[in-house]
Amino acid sequence: MENTTTVLIAGATGYLGRYLCAEYAHRGRHVTALVRNPAWAVGVKRFGSHHLQDHFETLAADAANHSKGH
């Protein structure tokens, strides 16, 4: 079993985040992309090199999406 470091990138669909995803995947890291909308991650995968195809997953979360007053 290969020992690969995983990096979590918040804002992975943003301008800087997509470059970070591509660079970490190119360096052999597994990338977990924290995104608000998982559909946007498709663009990140296309933007990155072929390395992202095998070393990429998304985690959907929205820190601003919470109930007010609770």
Q: Where are the domains of the chain?
A: 6-60
The pLDDT tens digits of the residues spanning 2-45 come to 667 999 999 888 889 989 988 998 888 999 988 888 888 777 77
Sheet with 56-60: strands ordered across:
6-10, 30-35, 56-60
User: Which ranges in the chain belong to alpha helices (H)?
Assistant: 15-26, 41-47, 51-54
Evaluate if pTM is beyond 0.85. Answer: no
